[in-house]
């Protein structure tokens, strides 16, 4: 397993060593000691799974009072995963990072608290999974619109399917400063 820093040093890309043979493949998807030695949390309190069709866009969401770190991956299909630093006063505030996750390379991506997160489905279907360091609190859910030009997120010109709630999310510049997490 190889762990590398993303463009922001609190984002981590986890690449497993995949062992292929005639029977299929095997890889270690999680190892507590390796995660700990790379400053990635090992205590997760909730795990989620979603099934989405091609063109589905979910996000960009974050929690303010109960911030979540997320370890994300794709069990089937392919997505563009998106993380945006929404920590006020962060030197990388407003910067986005996109990474393709799929069921071929089996990469994991760790996104810490203080980042808005979402994904866009590239394949016919995608099964997306993630572990969270904090429980989901619907009353504490906030978000920003993926289509904010200042975020520089390129998802191509294909049709996109998203919820009404996500369509109405504000641009980052329109979010009340009190509704953004603090940079530590």
Cβ burial of 74 (10 Å; 0-12, 13-18, 19+) is buried
Whether the CB-CB separation of 109 and 81 falls below 8 Å is answered with: yes
Q: Say which of 12, 62, 110, 130 is annotated catalytic.
A: 130
Q: Say which of 12, 61, 62, 110 is annotated catalytic.
A: 61
Q: Is 130 annotated in the active site?
A: yes
Cβ burial of 64 (10 Å; 0-12, 13-18, 19+) is middle
Whether the CB-CB separation of 82 and 146 falls below 8 Å is answered with: yes
Q: List the one residue out of 5, 158, 175 whose CA is nearest residue 83.
A: 5
Q: Is 61 annotated in the active site?
A: yes
Residues labelled as active-site residues? 61, 130
């Amino acid at each position: 397993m190889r762990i590398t820093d993303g463009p922001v040093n609190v984002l981590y890309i986890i690449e497993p060593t995949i062992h292929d043979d005639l029977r299929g493949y095997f890889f270690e998807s999680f190892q507590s000691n390796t995660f700990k030695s790379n400053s990635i949390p090992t205590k997760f309190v909730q795990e989620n799974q979603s099934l989405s069709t091609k063109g589905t866009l979910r996000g960009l969401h974050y929690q303010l009072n109960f911030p979540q770190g997320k370890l994300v991956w794709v069990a089937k299909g392919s997505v563009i995963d998106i993380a945006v630093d929404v920590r006020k006063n962060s030197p990388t505030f407003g910067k986005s990072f996109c990474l393709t996750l799929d069921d071929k390379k089996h990469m994991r991506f760790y996104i810490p608290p203080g980042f808005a997160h979402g994904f866009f489905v590239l394949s016919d279907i995608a099964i997306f999974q993630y572990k969270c360091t904090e429980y989901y609190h619907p009353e504490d859910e906030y978000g920003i619109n993926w289509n904010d030009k200042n975020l520089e997120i390129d998802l191509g010109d294909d049709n996109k399917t998203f919820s009404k709630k996500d369509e109405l999310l504000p641009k980052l510049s329109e979010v009340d400063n009190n509704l953004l997490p603090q940079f530590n």
